[in-house]
Structure 1
Amino acid sequence: MSAAPDPRTERRDAEPAPPGLTDLAGSPFRIDRDRIAASPFFARLGGVTQVVSAGGSGLLHNRLTHSLKVAQVARAIAERITGAEDSRELVAKLGGCDPDVAEAAALGHDLGHPPFGHLGEQVLDRIARHRYGLADGFEGNAQTFRIVTTTEVGGPTPVGLNLTAAARAALLKYPWARLHFPDPHPARMRVPPRGAGEPDGAPGTGSSKFSAYSTELDDLVQARAPFTGRVEHWQQTVEASVMDMADDIAYAIHDLQDFHRIGVLQHASVATELGQWLARVGELAELSEAQLRSADRKPGRSLELLRRRMHAKDSWIVDDDAFAQAVARVRAELVDDLLASPFDGSIEAEQALAAFSARWSARLVDGVLVTPAPSTRTGHVTLRPAQWHEVQVLKFVHRRFVLLRADLALHQRGQANVLASLVDALDAWLADRDEASRLPRRLHDLVEVAGAEYASLARRAPDLLVGATGEPVEGTDAVRGLARGRAVVDFVASLTDNQAVRMLDAIEGRTAQPWSESFVL
């Protein structure tokens, strides 16, 4: 009598035999990993900004090199928790953790990132909601899930990569939709999961983070089915939690390396901020929130605001002593050690960077643990308090001394204009009956795909078709308008940074060279 099939290995569609040429491994989960790595959407990440454009220097991480490092950390975590006696049984009870699934999810977690990284995500979300009335807007995680289930056509089935249920579920970092699913929505929980709450200053817009659009809800339900009764409906699977943790660790370490390398992360400013907070911790604690915010550029005050924000959002783990120790450790190992000597390209400087990365990677991975009943603010795979606080401080340094720089803001405003103008130009082309037949083939195909999807939703789940302001969308023309908007956003999101810039130049007549790049995406 043959054993029952493992529901974690189930794929959405039956596949023709023999398997595709990219299926070089016998393990179904290794096949998932290989399909993601072979996807052109994965290759394009080499041309997508991580924080700022690498400018061809190769010195800064892009989304591809970031994904490779996340995969490296994810596999290490997965092997650690499945091999340790104190966590192996719990991991199995929660639904399992295959290192190939964790690695596949890590490789694929950024497939949906548009040109110019998180900036592009924000711009396309505004355009999707305000211009096209798409209540789902745009979200990089949801776009990733849409790619692997719908818009990637290079797999063995007509739509998507046909990944196993476990791999698809591992990509669901935020396993809910923006507004509609599930019911009750996690946003209404007393302490919502991280990302489920609405963005500050944008009431009524739904969750700030989510992993599926309305068009992919059936795929979400099918992917999560093997984990019913093992994890809560709003919780990540263990493999998704591993991917999420690995992403946090890689982000906390490697982006700081980048900006030290190019001279952006300056010793004096970081040392002053951390040092002043340590020296004046009692005095800063006495200040009101208004006093801190009115002069948040004064050394130590931004860090004090972080401490208070952690108390407000993460009371399940925050501890003032652990926070102070984390600040002291980051000051000693990042500021007094790594940043004390400017990066000059020497062997000594490169070795210092490598040692910093290796030391912190090992420390943070050593701090990983699996818990049976985590806070709603974290997954089953989390960090011990010391390492959790250290990650928060490392991420603070990155945000405060890189992301908030005025020169980066200037650069990003130009990138935002590129994306908005490109959407305008493509939309006008779609509306031009005389030229519609000469659309880029990829855009034409995406219009057809989205048209079929939204027409299907109108028939079987019309309650999911609501505009950005919550009003029902009715009528053939209105439904087609939603589909057209989704297709344009899908197309722009599939470009690299340079493709977006060059295509806009070509459409607006700012280049004498004909557009010759074939659209593989």
Structure 2
Amino acid sequence: MHREHADPRALRRSGMDASTPLQSDLATSPFRVDRDRVASSPFFARLGGVTQVVSSTGSGLLVHNRLTHSLKVAQAARAIAERLGARPELVGVLDKLGGCDPDVVEAAALAHDLGHPPFGHLGEQVLDRLARHRFGLSDGFEGNAQSFRIVTTTDVRGPAAVGLDLTVAVRAAMLKYPWTRLSYPKPHPKDLRVPPRGAAEPPDAPGTGAAKFSAYVTELDDLTQARAFYAGRVEPWQQTVEASVMDTADDIAYAIHDLEDFYRVGVLQHATVSTELNTWLDHAVDLAGISAADLAAQERQPGRSLEALRRRLHLKDSWAVDDDAFAQAVAMVRTELVGGLLAVPFDGSVEAEQAVAAFSARWTRRLVDAVGVLDEPSTRSGHVVLAVQQWHEVQVLKFVHRRFVLLRPDLALHQRGQARLLTALVEALEQWATDRHEADRLPRRLHDLIELATSEYTALARTDPSSLVGATGDTPSGPDAVRALARGRAVVDFVASLTDNQAAALLDALSGRTGQLWTDAFVL
């Protein structure tokens, strides 16, 4: 096919026209090829050993990991895309905004968590802190940006051993937060009057840039290339429609299957959830009249946390929140979750498993069927949105998970240990990489990552030194400073590519706590 007739959405990162697949690709559709490349990647396979919320190591096969989560997101994303595409009244809108292909959203959904490090979001926070403060990397670490880095740069299973050479559409669909932490686009979305979701700076860390972002400065060229087709179709800070589908599917899967997990392992208890929801429903008017200070002081009392959620939604998402819809959502979740699923403790029986499956299927269909398209959404929303009632239900479902699972002290106990483990592992690998007597015996993968990052940061220091300004506010000067940045990025890349068990086993070996010489934990 001549280039002038090529589908611009199907152009690959390398610039190749994707209309003719390579011999190594089984599919004929370029977007299906992308889906297959992601699913065949070792970075995708490793997600089976990466924590979603808690590690599956101590709980058998009862809880989701990042792999099963990604599969469910892909399932929901494809279903949403197919439903939207089947609605004649949306065809023109979807085409105007840049398209909505089921293969694209499925590929992006499978790839969206490739960059999640060991131990889930806890690992993400630890690596970000170390990247910024220990290594001086201006954009730190972020799981979404790491996923984009993998498919464009560090995965070696693509045709040219530089990323997976995915199409424009799939790469753009992965950009849930289509900006860098600090510098792109200009003006940066964090400075908008109402910043997009994820773009605002963390309130406890002013000056650090967007809380969420989907590309590091090393992949800025890839971001701009992937987004060029969508210029004039969506705003520079807006998700593409396909990214919005993926993001919505991620929210749906997260809201449902984490509740399912913690019911099955006995963590989510009927009495505590019931008391919280019933107290708020019975005393909503009185709770609405409590001052902010008194509400904070009473946060451990039933109903107060749910009232705090209602107020937080008004503050952050006034474009969507509706008090009547919120009350209906609380009542709906009480009926379905408290009066249904949690009413009978999980005992592993056929009946119990069927009840969990029915709950999950019923809620997934309810939410997937409630997705629509907005031609001109709020800056806090993508073009693809849940209906008002279902949006509120997702907020309440996610609240239950956060309030009764994520805030548990026993989970915090394990996470503090995991944070210490990751910190010690990063420090040990950095020491090894800077030991001039032993650096030539580094794991080959880490050695290759250091060489890659050195070439990237050397080029940035020459062409855009301001992008390398770190937490201290200083611009790195001289080859040693640039090599230090590259070494830090490579160590972070390396650690982020491990499973939970690999991270623990590698630290044991580096600490001299194991006598095992050859182990699959080190096949990296």
Corresponding residue number in structure 1 for 2:382:
379
Corresponding residue number in structure 1 for 2:120:
117
Per-residue CA deviation, residues 367-414 of structure 1 (Å, 9 max, x unaligned), is: 100010001001000011100000000000000000000000000000
Change in Cα spacing, 1:520 to 1:38, as seen in structure 2 (3 Å) is farther
**In the alignment, is residue 11 of structure 1 matched against residue 12 of structure 2?**
yes
Corresponding residue number in structure 2 for 1:27:
29
Corresponding residue number in structure 2 for 1:196:
199
**In the alignment, is residue 482 of structure 1 matched against residue 485 of structure 2?**
yes
Per-residue CA deviation, residues 465-508 of structure 1 (Å, 9 max, x unaligned), is: 21123322222111111111000000000000000000000111
Per-residue CA deviation, residues 255-304 of structure 1 (Å, 9 max, x unaligned), is: 10000000000000000000000001011111111111112010000000
Amino acid paired to 1:6: D
Pairs aligned (count):
521
Q: CA deviation at 1:74?
A: 0.2
Conserved? CA contact 1:503–1:515, under 8 Å: no
SS of 1:382's partner is strand
Conserved? CA contact 1:170–1:240, under 8 Å: yes
SS of 1:147's partner is helix
Measure the CA separation in 2 of the matches of 1:63 and 1:158. 25
Aligned counterpart in structure 1 of residue 47 of structure 2, from 45, 48, 52: 45
Measure the CA separation in 2 of the matches of 1:349 and 1:106. 30
Measure the CA separation in 1 of the matches of 2:329 and 2:490. 46
Measure the CA separation in 1 of the matches of 2:135 and 2:274. 46
Per-residue CA deviation, residues 396-440 of structure 1 (Å, 9 max, x unaligned), is: 000000000000000000000110000111011011111111100
Bigger mean CA deviation after superposition, 84-93 or 290-299:
84-93
Aligned counterpart in structure 1 of residue 38 of structure 2, from 29, 36, 39: 36
**In the alignment, is residue 183 of structure 1 matched against residue 186 of structure 2?**
yes
Amino acid paired to 1:366: D
Corresponding residue number in structure 2 for 1:162:
165
Measure the CA separation in 2 of the matches of 1:175 and 1:19. 28
Corresponding residue number in structure 2 for 1:89:
92
RMSD: 1.5
Q: CA deviation at 1:83?
A: 1.1
Correspondence 1:341-380 to 2 at 5 A: 341-380=344-383
Aligned counterpart in structure 1 of residue 445 of structure 2, from 442, 445, 448: 442
Measure the CA separation in 2 of the matches of 1:16 and 1:88. 25
Change in Cα spacing, 1:310 to 1:415, as seen in structure 2 (3 Å) is same
Conserved? CA contact 1:15–1:156, under 8 Å: no
**In the alignment, is residue 222 of structure 1 matched against residue 218 of structure 2?**
no
Per-residue CA deviation, residues 319-360 of structure 1 (Å, 9 max, x unaligned), is: 000000000000000111100000001111111111101110
Corresponding residue number in structure 1 for 2:435:
432
Corresponding residue number in structure 2 for 1:265:
268
Amino acid paired to 2:32: R
Q: CA deviation at 1:515?
A: 3.7
Per-residue CA deviation, residues 172-193 of structure 1 (Å, 9 max, x unaligned), is: 0000000011110000101000
Measure the CA separation in 2 of the matches of 1:12 and 1:408. 41
Measure the CA separation in 1 of the matches of 2:300 and 2:367. 30
Per-residue CA deviation, residues 130-186 of structure 1 (Å, 9 max, x unaligned), is: 100111000000000000000001110131000000000000000000001111000
Change in Cα spacing, 1:418 to 1:324, as seen in structure 2 (3 Å) is same
Q: Percent identity?
A: 71
Measure the CA separation in 2 of the matches of 1:241 and 1:520. 36
Amino acid paired to 2:259: L
Amino acid paired to 2:118: P
Amino acid paired to 1:187: K
Measure the CA separation in 1 of the matches of 2:275 and 2:509. 47
Change in Cα spacing, 1:435 to 1:223, as seen in structure 2 (3 Å) is same
Measure the CA separation in 2 of the matches of 1:473 and 1:15. 36
Corresponding residue number in structure 1 for 2:214:
211
Change in Cα spacing, 1:388 to 1:372, as seen in structure 2 (3 Å) is same
Conserved? CA contact 2:457–2:486, under 8 Å: yes
SS of 1:339's partner is helix
Conserved? CA contact 2:126–2:423, under 8 Å: yes
Question: Is there any run of 5+ residues in structure 2 with no aligned partner, and where?
Answer: none
Q: CA deviation at 1:23?
A: 1.0
Measure the CA separation in 1 of the matches of 2:444 and 2:417. 28
